[in-house]
Amino acid sequence: MRLIPRLIILALILVASIAPAQNRVENRHVAQRMQLMQTGRAAVDVLTGMMSNRIRFDKPRARAARKSLIKMTDAIPKHFRKRRTDPLSNAKITLWINWTDFKYRAKGANNAARALNARSLNGLRATLPDLMQTCLSCHRAYRKDRKMVKTH
C-alpha cells in the first residue's frame, strides 16, 4: 500500500519535469528574438514604474534603461530579418510579408527610444508615451494576440 503513494509522487515528478520541455522555444533564433523583446520590456517596466511613481525616479537608472532601449530597438531588424518559426513564437507571418513596413516601424521605435528624455521625471513623462505608442502599434500589426502576457 505504501508503494502506490510513492509511485504517484514519482509520476507527478516525471510529469512536472516533462511539462516545461513542451514550453521551451526550440528554434534558437526565435529564442534570441524573444529575449531581445524581454530586454526591451524590462527597460520599459523600469521607466513606466518611474513615470507612475511606483519606482523613485533615478536618473542613472533611467538613462541606462534608455540606452538599453536604443540598443534593443536598433537590433530588431537583424533579429527578425529571416523568417524563423517556432510553435511558441508570437510573430505573425505578415511581418515578413510586409517587411518594409516592419523595418519602418522598428526605425520609428529606435527614433522614439533616442528621443526619450531620461534626465528628469517630467522629461520622461513627456517622451515615454511616444515610445510606448510606437511599440504597441507594431505589436498590434505583427504580434499574435495571446491571452497570456508574452513577448515574441
Are 50 and 56 a contacting pair, CB within 8 Å?
Answer: yes
Q: Which pLDDT score, from 0 to 100, does residue 25 have?
A: 87
pLDDT tens digits for range 126-150: 999 999 999 999 999 999 976 544 4
Domain presence at residue 134: yes
Domain presence at residue 100: yes
Least confident of 23-32, 88-97, 110-119: 23-32
Spatial CA neighbour of 36 closest among 73, 90, 83, 89? 73
CATH of residue 59's domain is 1.20.120.10
Domain presence at residue 94: yes
Helical pair 59-80 and 28-51, crossing angle rounded to 10 deg: 150
Domain presence at residue 108: yes
Q: Which pLDDT score, from 0 to 100, does residue 152 have?
A: 45
Distance (Å, rounded) from C-alpha 54 to C-alpha 12? 40
Q: Taking all residues of the chain, what is their mean pLDDT, rounded to a whole number?
A: 86
Q: CB count, 10 Å around CB of 92?
A: 16
Enclosing domain of residue 133:
29-142
Whether pLDDT at 84 is above 60: yes
Domain presence at residue 78: yes
Domain presence at residue 19: no
Q: Which pLDDT score, from 0 to 100, does residue 21 have?
A: 43
Q: Which pLDDT score, from 0 to 100, does residue 5 have?
A: 52
DSSP letter at 83 equals -
What's this model's pTM, rounded to 2 decimal places?
0.80
Instruction: Please give the torsion angle defined by the CA atoms of residues 23, 26, 31 and 32, in that order, rounded to the nearest 10 degrees.
Output: 160
Q: What's the average model confidence in pLDDT over 120-125?
A: 97
If one counts the domains in the chain, the total is 1
Radius of gyration of the chain (CA): 20
More confident: 123 or 145: 123
